[in-house]
Structure 1
């Protein structure tokens, strides 16, 4: 369940609630490069070296409001 942050200036104006911040961990099997990035969901990201898209190997909630960390 998402928490409501009434004073959040960054949430989508049409959104009722903020979404949690998620730390995603990725590994490119082509370049053998690993990286992390924080998003508002467990989403695909581009390898910083070759640009291919990868699904996160793991995702962990790191905060109740993505607006506070993004």
Structure 2
């Protein structure tokens, strides 16, 4: 695998992790009864607190990613 492909895989892994974190936070906030704005605030907070090291570690553990 060349450097460009490695970079693409990392970018895709980060994008997927961000999407998942935001979606889960948004849905959980809705279940908790938050309004639309509150749900978005929770989603943004999830993006800000995403553990990027965990994303990198997951990529190293699974070479298919």
Q: TM-score, normalised by structure 1?
A: 0.28
Greater per-residue helix proportion: 2
Greater per-residue strand proportion: 1
Q: TM-score, normalised by structure 2?
A: 0.29
